[in-house]
């Protein structure tokens, strides 16, 4: 089968949750089918990354996706005037439309695979896709993620804008799910939510985000580790909210009982709010993006996932489990994972409870080792990409 595969990011290196999902789905499909990749890229595209993807795919095409505060303001105004979701209006690139028209007019494809809601718009109302199998990988129920952000937002104007975006996204996502032949989600919860939203649950198939546990090996952590680590894209609103909540409301409780504790905040493009909070506490280190997490994980007593909003599945938890690092998460953070609190990780939602869970791991290395061992076993059996992504054959190896 020949598949036209669209992504909103260059799916290599697999160094963030969305890219991990894109990369291993793409890699699985490319082993069995001829895949043409069309990727929107930022200014940090590296030729060696494109070359790696070309080694997997029949062809790779990239299109620039400009981003700036000025452009965001322009597209927000367009969204307000047109009554369309800001995130969808922002990511429509005319060059992408022209490239797709050219490819679809000169090549024959059997399937059109849109990764994430942002790229799904390119498959709507396109006559050249008549008779072509269409698949959208939703990753998240985006409207639910944005609504959760609105629920915890303090600024009244931002809260109104987020609530408006959530309403518009709910209508848009329902239409996308109805328009595509098959809809992938990463959790059963999102499968149920989107099936109910669209009224077409039979189209939905939940396949979790997976990693390569043969590459991700357990790290050797120091016995008396006193560092905490959070990893993620530090410009992503749910991560920004979670880090700020942890530093403001949880971390002081931990420091009061364990003065020697340190916090590492690791991830690309840290938001000003994170940097400002870190500037007021010398034990908080904001690193930005790092190529190798291993030195940090070796000194980590707990990977923290203090998310209060979001949807889908946190691959950072799967990554930590695969590397044998204990995790403390909120209920939202652990949502969609086949984990048992107390066996694979610790879960708490309020500041005092989250702080107490962190302190348990700081004080009891044996508890950390037990969680790490069970977590690694779960990652190997439930979240290895070669085992799990065989479920894609249900879509791509049948004629309907």
The string of pLDDT tens digits covering residues 162-201 is 999 999 999 999 999 999 999 999 999 999 999 999 999 9
Of 24, 41, 43, 31, nearest to 3 by C-alpha is 31
Domain ranges of the chain: 2-210+385-396, 227-382
Q: What is the residue-averaged pLDDT of the chain? A: 94
Integer distance in angstroms from the first to the last C-alpha of the chain? Answer: 13
| pLDDT confidence of residue 104 | 96
Is 60 exceeded by the pLDDT of residue 128?
yes
| pLDDT confidence of residue 313 | 82
| pLDDT confidence of residue 310 | 73
User: CA 290, CA 267: separation in Å to the nearest integer?
Assistant: 7
285-288: which pairs have CB atoms within 8 A and are 24 or more residues apart? 286/234, 288/234
Q: Which tokens in the block code for residue 162?
A: 């987020």
| pLDDT confidence of residue 224 | 87
Contacts of 269 by beta carbon, 8 Å cutoff, 6+ apart: 233, 234, 235, 288, 289
Please, how many CA atoms are within 13 Å of residue 321, restricted to the half-sphere of its CB? 31
Helix or strand holding residue 206 (H, E):
strand 204-206
Is 90 exceeded by the pLDDT of residue 326?
yes
| pLDDT confidence of residue 80 | 93
Where b means 16+ CB within 10 Å and e means fewer, 353-381 reads: bbbbbbbbbbeebeebeebbebbbebbee
Where b means 16+ CB within 10 Å and e means fewer, 194-209 reads: bbebbeeeebbbbbbb
Tell me what the mean pLDDT of segment 340-351 comes to.
98
- Between CA 135 and CA 211, with CA 174 as vertex, the angle to 5 degrees is 45
The string of pLDDT tens digits covering residues 205-216 is 999 999 999 999
Q: How confident is the model at residue 399 (pLDDT cuts 50, 70, 90)?
A: low
Is 50 exceeded by the pLDDT of residue 400?
no
User: CA 158, CA 285: separation in Å to the nearest integer?
Assistant: 28
Contacts of 312 by beta carbon, 8 Å cutoff, 6+ apart: 139, 140, 141, 145, 185, 186, 187, 190, 209, 336
Is 70 exceeded by the pLDDT of residue 110?
yes
| pLDDT confidence of residue 398 | 64
User: CA 165, CA 72: separation in Å to the nearest integer?
Assistant: 14
Pick the CATH number of 227-382 from 3.40.190.80, 3.90.1720.10, 3.30.450.40, 3.40.50.2000: 3.40.50.2000
User: Which of the two residues, 360 and 43, has the higher pLDDT score?
Assistant: 360
| pLDDT confidence of residue 309 | 84
- SS3 of 284, please? strand
Q: Which residues pair with 229 in a beta bridge?
A: 264, 303
Instruction: Give yes or no on whether 2-210+385-396 and 227-382 have one common fold.
Output: yes
| pLDDT confidence of residue 45 | 78
Q: How confident is the model at residue 287 (pLDDT cuts 50, 70, 90)?
A: very high
**Contact yes or no for 304/358 (Cβ under 8 A):** yes
| pLDDT confidence of residue 43 | 75
Pick the CATH number of 2-210+385-396 from 2.130.10.10, 3.30.470.20, 3.40.50.2000, 3.20.20.140: 3.40.50.2000
Is 90 exceeded by the pLDDT of residue 16?
no
The string of pLDDT tens digits covering residues 229-259 is 999 999 988 999 999 999 999 999 999 999 9
Q: How confident is the model at residue 67 (pLDDT cuts 50, 70, 90)?
A: confident
The string of pLDDT tens digits covering residues 254-280 is 999 999 999 999 999 999 999 999 999
| pLDDT confidence of residue 225 | 93
Is 80 exceeded by the pLDDT of residue 44?
no
Tell me what the mean pLDDT of segment 88-99 comes to.
94
In percent, the amount of the chain with pLDDT more than 70 equals 99
**Contact yes or no for 17/122 (Cβ under 8 A):** no
């Amino acid at each position: 089968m020949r598949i036209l595969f669209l992504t909103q990011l260059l799916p290599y290196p697999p160094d963030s949750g969305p890219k991990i999902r894109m990369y291993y789905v793409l890699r699985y499909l490319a082993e069995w089918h001829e895949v043409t990749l069309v990727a929107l890229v930022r200014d940090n595209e590296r030729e060696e990354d494109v070359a790696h993807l070309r080694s997997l795919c029949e062809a790779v095409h990239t299109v620039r996706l400009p981003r700036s505060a000025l452009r965001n303001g322009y597209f927000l105004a367009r969204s307000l005037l047109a009554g369309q979701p800001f995130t969808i209006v922002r990511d429509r690139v005319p060059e992408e439309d022209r490239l797709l028209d050219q490819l679809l007019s000169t090549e024959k494809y059997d399937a059109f695979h849109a990764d994430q809601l942002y790229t799904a718009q390119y498959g709507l109302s396109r006559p050249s896709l008549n008779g072509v199998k269409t698949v959208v990988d939703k990753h998240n129920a985006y409207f639910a993620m944005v609504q959760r952000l609105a629920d915890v937002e303090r600024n009244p104007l931002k809260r109104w804008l987020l609530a408006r975006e959530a309403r518009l996204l709910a209508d848009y996502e329902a239409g996308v799910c109805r328009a595509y032949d098959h809809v992938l989600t990463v959790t059963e919860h999102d499968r149920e939510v989107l099936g109910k939203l669209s009224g077409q649950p039979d189209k939905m198939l939940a396949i979790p985000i997976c990693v390569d546990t043969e590459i991700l090996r357990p790290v050797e952590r120091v016995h008396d580790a006193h560092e905490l680590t959070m990893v993620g894209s530090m410009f992503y609103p749910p991560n920004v909210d979670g880090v700020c909540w942890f530093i403001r409301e949880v971390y002081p409780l931990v420091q009061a009982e364990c003065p020697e504790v340190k916090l590492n905040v690791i991830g690309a493009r840290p938001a000003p709010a994170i940097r400002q909070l870190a500037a007021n506490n010398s034990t908080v280190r904001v690193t930005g993006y790092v190529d190798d997490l291993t030195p940090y994980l070796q000194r980590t007593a707990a990977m923290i996932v203090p998310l209060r909003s979001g949807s889908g599945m946190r691959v950072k938890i799967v990554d930590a489990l695969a590397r044998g690092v204990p995790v403390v998460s909120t209920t939202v953070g652990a949502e969609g994972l086949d984990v048992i609190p107390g066996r694979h990780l610790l879960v708490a939602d309020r500041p005092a409870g989250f702080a107490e869970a962190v302190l348990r791991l700081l004080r009891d290395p044996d508890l950390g080792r037990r969680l790490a061992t069970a977590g690694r076993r779960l990652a190997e059996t439930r979240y290895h990409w070669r085992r799990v992504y065989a479920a894609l054959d249900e879509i791509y190896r049948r004629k309907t």
